[in-house]
Amino acid sequence: MGMYSLIEDNVNKFYDIANATIGECEHISEFVAKMQHHAGLLTGSGELEHFEDALSECWNEYWSNYQ
């Protein structure tokens, strides 16, 4: 497995965890705090630079299904 594949797998793991975690959170700040523990999965991807923006997008997309 190449380095790119490893990074891509880790990013996918991060978003899998985010999708499993988001419904447990009442506010986006709680979601961001929980996901901070998994931010290392984004290392090397460039996604880490946009960590909170990406989580905000996940949050908005998830909760738009319940409006």
Contact 43, 14 (CB under 8 A): no
Tens-digit pLDDT profile for residues 18-67: 999 999 999 999 999 999 999 999 999 989 899 999 999 999 999 998 87
Residue type, 46: G
Q: Please, which pLDDT band fits residue 4 given cuts at 50, 70 and 90?
A: confident
Residue linked to tokens 């523990």: 37
Cα–Cα nearest to 22, from 37, 40, 9, 34:
34
pLDDT of residue 31: 97
Q: How many domains does the chain contain in total?
A: 1
The whole domain housing 49 covers 3-64
pLDDT of residue 65: 85
Q: What is the mean pLDDT of residues 3-27?
A: 95
* C-alpha–C-alpha distance, residues 31 and 45, integer Å: 21
pLDDT of residue 14: 97
Token pair for residue 50? Answer: 């946009």
